Amino acid sequence: MDKKFFRTNSNKAGESPGGRLRAALQAEQPLQVIGVINAYAAILAEKTGFRALYLSGSGVASASYGLPDLGVTTLNDVLADVKRITATTPLPLLVDADTAWGDPAKTVRQMIKAGAAGIHIEDQVEAKRCGHRPNKQLISTSEMVERIKSAISGKTDPAFVLMARTDAVAGEGLEGGIERAIAYRDAGADMIFAEALTNLDQYRTFVNAVKIPVLANITEFGKTPLFTLEELRSAGVGLALYPLSAFRAMNAAALQVFRSIRENGTQKEVLPIMQSRAELYEFLNYQVYEQRLDEMFKKQKS
């Protein structure tokens, strides 16, 4: 049966995903952007009250393909997850587009077609690394400017958000990272992803220098402390990103369940940490779907 039969969410008429992301940024300061690894996680996030979602390249690599985040997944790999998520929720989705896979214009066109609200592209080489790992290799500022200009040329929706990520602070210092960010802004980037900053003064300096929204990556177990929203707000940060928080928790819970069943021969001991069948059905609007099926069967019999 066509999956459209079961869709209950619809996008607001006349408003593009990029427009919704920009509106969310105006409504919430800093805008909390929560990472989701699949369509069901997106539903949970929407029901919890988040205004914007994020799809991590690391999440796609590890969750969908069982691979490390080292530039091995492709544009099509990421698009597959983008389409599943955007078909499920009207919340705007910001997507990690790594280095744009050699064709930034194509990447932007395909992301818009898949329903994404925006992407970020980074200034690392094609064989990129996690932003919180050592030995990152960067392209030149001029090369990144060309990446950005190429991405802009692919826009079919003017509201689509192009965010430029810089990993330069770790190797070139704060001043070097800011110089790059300003060049990226001048090339047309709408927002800046300042990766792996280590204190609020660095964010404050970044924000004051670039004068466009700056995203703080509040990822666990990395170089950036787990600043609160109030702390980030005091530094003028525009977006607070939590890329893999739920995914890490899911993994820990799954491992606990696997070990318990293997060791005890039953899942009884881990039932308290499970989502119940009733809760699952509630989030999926299961009864609404069943009613549609019942109505369809009645029509077929009449």
Active site residue 7: no
Q: How far apart are CA 223 and CA 284, in angstroms?
A: 37
Active site residue 96: yes
Active site residue 103: no
Active site residue 220: no
Q: Are 214 and 203 in contact (CB under 8 A)?
A: yes
**Is 98 annotated to bind ligand?**
yes
Active site residue 286: no
Active site residue 186: no
Q: How far apart are CA 184 and CA 218, in angstroms?
A: 22
From 54, 184, 203, 242, the catalytic residue: 54
Q: Are 206 and 197 in contact (CB under 8 A)?
A: yes
**Is 248 annotated to bind ligand?**
yes
Active site residue 98: yes
Active site residue 76: no
From 38, 51, 84, 122, the catalytic residue: 122
**Is 204 annotated to bind ligand?**
no
Q: Which residues contact 12 (CB under 8 A, 6 or more apart)?
A: 20, 90
Active site residue 77: no
Question: Ramachandran region of residue 49, left (φ > 0), alpha (ψ -120 to 50) or beta?
Answer: left
Q: How far apart are CA 137 and CA 111, in angstroms?
A: 26
**Is 165 annotated to bind ligand?**
yes
From 9, 15, 77, 130, the catalytic residue: 130
**Is 96 annotated to bind ligand?**
yes
From 51, 120, 147, 180, the catalytic residue: 120
Q: How far apart are CA 133 and CA 255, in angstroms?
A: 25
**Is 195 annotated to bind ligand?**
yes
From 38, 195, 203, 242, the catalytic residue: 195
Active site residue 147: no
239: tokens are 């977006």
**Is 217 annotated to bind ligand?**
yes
| Residues carrying an active site annotation | 54, 69, 96, 98, 120, 122, 130, 165, 195, 217
Q: Which residues are annotated as a binding site for substrate?
A: 130-131, 165, 195, 217-219, 248, 277
Q: Which residues are annotated as a binding site for Mg(2+)?
A: 96, 98
